[in-house]
Structure 1
């Protein structure tokens, strides 16, 4: 016994020696799943990165650079064409001159009779990308508020459960301490009792989670159609048109033209209106086109994963109390602790879907040792008899009586 205590104390001392030369960081409490993180972590950050690329135009080239008559300052025509809009001519998209392809949409135009496409979205691209990033994060803010730190309430204090090896509190640094092993039993009993007392009162918590998952799906659909409107009806088919072009003109040169036209009106010396035709280079559209092609594929990926997450939620709702093996598999995915079949069966019988979901998140956030100790006492807390551990094996093994003669007698 003394040798065992010395071994455990040595493990703790080894951990302390490592902690003195490294910063200890506790794992944050997980209150969502991988699909949810795909929205507020990956999508949110990717859109912020895209915003930074567009805003960094001083490194990538100016927004617009126009060529006009000598009588007009380049700063004036650049500011005017950027703040109003530029346009391309529909009939000149696929027109050739002298055997060579001119810039798509650029050429002689009669504004009174020919159809033109005005381009003004480039003014708003950084603002729209930033707004999209915020929209991906809003469901997480809503869920964090509705969740009310309930999971944290249950799992707080179990961060160092695997390291509670000796019956003595160990100080790691000024803020962190490893509790004594004897304290863990008290905390596990309190956790088990608190969970049992709240059985049947977790519907609001579970409904809030499902609502925020639906909010994620609605956000993807809304943003896809918002970008369709923003790009003049060209977003929903953008990826397909890039992969399978139709005709000799690149679709990206039509949606994100690098060369456009702009008309500047100026009063002459006698008061007559003089029209100045300007040719504008749009260097930042080379970045915009790549961003929106990437977003097209990313929205497809996020949308498919989100729909899969909702189907998974429906599947868990239907099978959590009807198929014991389903619950066994999910709890083993969430936590490596071995659970008794009889205890599991009896506990699942009295739990609603909301209680079952909360149990899964508790399993995700505490170590297998602590979760097994908590789960083993559920039957007693619920008023059931304790299972006979000598007659049945644990989760992952075949559940058979050890002595068939005793069963026959």
Structure 2
């Protein structure tokens, strides 16, 4: 039965766990993205969020700290000492060493991270999702609903891929719905800022890489060791060699806590031993997270460099589209170069994202069908059309008219 004084605490923890669950459900509703995007905004967010929820629940439903108090202490005093030491923090001194009378010497190795770990992990989960949030805001500013387009094509592909239809029938099916949907979206987005979609995505990858390195640094600094600069490999080495926490002081299970008891005429300081049971799990979790976040940061940096290169040169994306077009069952009146000109940098970026999120097979159907119907959606610059008319000597016979995009 929950005590009355524990209900506000329970409500706060339950609210935090609910928020974490909502974040996880939101993460899996978004497009997958490339490898770095999946590692950052899906896998890492889920690992951190689940770890935070589990550890936070143990703070309420379990005993995160148990202090050894004198026998004359009443239950109220025992509860007070446990709560005080948990909130105020503890310090580590090896059990075979004598406690110093100097306060600074006693508190040389303080344990300040213990009660904050679940909240720090929850904050890191939100920060790893933040670049995805920025990307969604930027793509919305560009005027193109990329997430909606990816979901539409994916749902359409799932509805027809199991049908006993041949290649041409599937191309015809894509020409009837997804291709029209994608072309319409590109046409409307070009009235806004769709040409900047690749730039916006590159900016989000830069933010993603910077955020990953910052989070790795925060993790390294939060549990800073007086002995090691980068405690991940060093701590792993200690575990392999069998160096005990009583010697190294890393994630100690037994610590000390000082508290004052006020008397009518004096203040008495007492020192008790406390058991930090969660440090058994923190040790393994943070060793894993140290290497995992470093791996994510490296992958994010490589991905950022790749997209910076892609922003400067679209050769690789063009080769991808040409490869899809080479699988067409018959030759089209529209050449690959003409289709790429009509597609433009924004359309090329959309197909590249389709390949990342949906896969090569449905993207190849989409690419071929978009080329087949591209003459109906070809949007040349009006000044270019007028120049073509001048070159043909038709300015007198066919005066220039504004193109009808409806």
- TM-score normalised to structure 2 length: 0.67
1:372 lines up with 2:361 in the alignment: no
CA RMSD in angstroms comes to 4.1
CA 1:67/1:330 → structure 2, altered by over 3 Å: closer, same or farther? farther
Q: Following superposition of structure 1 onto structure 2, how do residues 65-76 of structure 1 map, counting pairs within 5 Å?
A: 65-72=66-73, 73-76=77-80
Out of 315, 319, 323, the residue aligned to residue 328 of structure 1 is 319
Shift of residue 266 of structure 1? 1.5
Question: What residue number does 2:238 align with?
Answer: 245
1:264 lines up with 2:265 in the alignment: no
1:280 lines up with 2:274 in the alignment: yes
Q: Following superposition of structure 1 onto structure 2, how do residues 43-58 of structure 1 map, counting pairs within 5 Å?
A: 43-57=44-58
Shift of residue 114 of structure 1? 2.7
Q: Following superposition of structure 1 onto structure 2, how do residues 201-212 of structure 1 map, counting pairs within 5 Å?
A: 201-212=193-204
Shift of residue 328 of structure 1? 2.5
Q: Following superposition of structure 1 onto structure 2, how do residues 10-409 of structure 1 map, counting pairs within 5 Å?
A: 30=31, 32-57=33-58, 62-72=63-73, 73-89=77-93, 93=94, 102=95, 107-112=98-103, 114=105, 116-148=108-140, 150-151=145-146, 158=153, 159-160=155-156, 163=160, 184-185=175-176, 188=179, 191-192=182-183, 195=186, 201-232=193-224, 237-245=230-238, 249-250=243-244, 254-268=249-263, 271-321=265-315, 327-329=318-320, 332=323, 338=327, 343-348=335-340, 353-362=345-354, 365=358, 366=362, 368-378=364-374, 382=378
* CA–CA separation in structure 2 for the residues paired with 1:379 and 1:184: 13
Question: What residue number does 1:388 align with?
Answer: none
Shift of residue 75 of structure 1? 1.5
Report Cα offsets for 1:311-370 as digits up to 9, x if no partner. 22133234424x6xx6324775xx697257983234446766444212323456555334
Report Cα offsets for 1:190-240 as digits up to 9, x if no partner. 744664676695233222211211121121122122223322357961221
Shift of residue 111 of structure 1? 2.4
Q: 8 Å contact 1:61–1:283 — kept in the other structure?
A: no
**Bigger radius of gyration among the two:** 1
Question: What residue number does 1:13 align with?
Answer: none
Shift of residue 56 of structure 1? 3.2
- TM-score normalised to structure 1 length: 0.66
* CA–CA separation in structure 1 for the residues paired with 2:60 and 2:86: 18
What number of residue pairs does the alignment pair up?
328
* CA–CA separation in structure 2 for the residues paired with 1:214 and 1:28: 23
* CA–CA separation in structure 2 for the residues paired with 1:49 and 1:29: 18
* CA–CA separation in structure 2 for the residues paired with 1:136 and 1:254: 30
Shift of residue 300 of structure 1? 1.4
Greater percentage in helix? 2
* CA–CA separation in structure 1 for the residues paired with 2:313 and 2:126: 35
* CA–CA separation in structure 2 for the residues paired with 1:226 and 1:182: 51
Question: Unpaired runs of 5+ in structure 2?
Answer: 1-27, 165-169, 381-406
Q: Secondary structure at the match of 1:264?
A: strand
Q: 8 Å contact 2:355–2:363 — kept in the other structure?
A: yes
Shift of residue 308 of structure 1? 1.8
